[in-house]
Amino acid sequence: MKNSRSDCGPTPRKLYARKLIWRIISIIPREMTLQTKNGILTFNTRDRVLGKALYSSGNYEWNTIATVIETLRRHSLLRGRMMLDVGANIGMISIACLRNGFFDRAMAFEPEAYNFNLLQRNVHQNQLSEKIECFNCALSSEDGTLDLELSRDNFGDHRIRWRQSAKPGFYREEKRKTLPVKVMRLDDLFSANPNARDSIGLAWVDIQGHEGHFLKGARDTIRRRVPVVCEFWPYAMDRAGTSKDEFIGLAKDLFTGCYHITANKPPEWSAIENLNRLFDEYRLPREMGTVLFV
């Protein structure tokens, strides 16, 4: 889930004050544009999670981005100059990465229409229209159309509903409004020009539990030794139809190890065979983390 974690910003006192101001500002839904650590970003105050983080702290997961790039550089894993931003939302990850010179180009994928509109606007106002190519679709294990569950107050928590499954969930997801969105396999996107995969230096994937389906549809691409940053949320994976054993099997097929990205300690490499430990660590519905697969 795109949550309210923000890794750098104002002092605790200023942060507290801005959170209080946010409570007032967010009463009336409207669009707001701010200069943030991630870039110049327009967002909607109805988004009580991402919007609150950007307004209160002035960044979105900046330290997580910096830690991932540092880890890739330290271990000589940062090769290509293009990144994939999968579940791009309004562009806060890819825009930050290009503005800071981590990559030269990006492909950003966002299926929800309003988020996609803001994504395009943010790319334009950061003068990156020629460097970030935006796709109004979700990346999955097949091509076609699937339903997208819409969160009313967290625009980063729209989720693909797999095969019309609407079983009761912790967040009452089964009651969410849905709309059909285009889905496609990443490998199919590159099928006409497979050599273009060699320029990919990183895939940043935050798609609310649909990560297993992304990996299935991106096998040929990722086997080109593409590092993948994943939100790691077992609860959402299960709702998306990917079991623990299935996800571990996919990871073992594509990667040799991973780095657990946390705010408390430097990331350490762990063999992919130990991935089951993270499922134990994040076993409750509200528990999630970030993993860099290599």
**Domain for residue 23, yes or no?**
no
- Any domain includes 43: no
pLDDT above 60 for 119: yes
Looking at the domain assignment, is residue 130 inside a domain? yes
The answer to whether 14 and 170 are in contact (CB under 8 A) is no
Q: In the prediction, which pLDDT does 4 show?
A: 45
Band (87; pLDDT cuts 50, 70, 90): very high
pLDDT averaged over every residue in the chain: 94
State the alpha helices, DSSP H only, in the chain: 12-25, 50-57, 62-74, 92-99, 113-125, 186-189, 211-216, 219-222, 234-239, 244-254, 276-281
Q: Is the pLDDT of residue 1 over 70?
A: no
Stretch 266-270: mean pLDDT: 95
CA dihedral 109, 133, 51, 72 (to 10 degrees): 80
Q: How confident is the model at residue 8 (pLDDT cuts 50, 70, 90)?
A: low
Say how many domains are in the chain.
Answer: 1
Neighbours of 236 (CB within 10 A): 24
Q: What is the pLDDT of residue 166?
A: 67
In the chain, % of residues over pLDDT 70: 96
Provide the pLDDT confidence category of residue 2 given band limits of 50, 70 and 90.
Answer: low
Contacts of residue 27, Cβ cutoff 8 Å, sequence gap at least 6:
none
Please check whether residue 25 lies inside any domain of the structure. Answer: no
Which of the four pLDDT bands, split at 50, 70 and 90, describes residue 3? low
Look at residue 285 and tell me if it is in a domain: yes
pLDDT surpasses 70 at 278: yes
Inform me whether the pLDDT recorded for 89 exceeds 70: yes
Give tens-digit pLDDT for 211-258. 999 999 999 999 999 999 999 999 999 999 999 999 999 999 999 999
**Region 42-52: what's the mean pLDDT?**
94
- The enclosing domain of 197 has a CATH number of 3.40.50.150
283 occurs within a structural domain: yes
Sign of CA dihedral 264, 268, 272, 273: negative
Listed residue (255, 239, 98) closest to 172, CA to CA: 239
Residue 9 scores a pLDDT above 80: no
User: What is the crossing angle of helices 92-99 and 62-74, to 10°?
Assistant: 50
Rounded Cα distance between 235 and 213, Å, is 15
pLDDT of 6 > 50? The answer is no
Task: Report the C-alpha gap between 62 and 51 in whole angstroms.
Answer: 15
In a domain, 241, yes or no: yes
Bigger pLDDT: 7 vs 161 = 161
Q: Distance between CA 289 and CA 28 in Å, rounded? A: 32
Cα distance between residue 131 and residue 154, in whole Å = 28
- pLDDT for residue 5: 46
Domain of residue 208, residue span? 61-293
Which pLDDT value is given to residue 83?
A: 98
Residue 44's φ and ψ, nearest 5 degrees, are -105, 135
**Pair type for strands 269-271 and 257-261:** antiparallel
Q: How far apart are CA 268 and CA 274, in angstroms?
A: 12
The number of C-alpha atoms within 13 Å of 69 and in the hemisphere containing its C-beta is 18
The predicted-structure confidence for 120-169, as pLDDT tens digits, reads as follows 999 999 999 999 999 999 999 999 999 999 999 999 999 999 876 667 88
Cα–Cα distance between 252 and 257 in angstroms, integer? 8
Q: Does residue 261 lie in a domain region?
A: yes
Phi (first) and psi of residue 45, to 5 degrees:
-70, -10
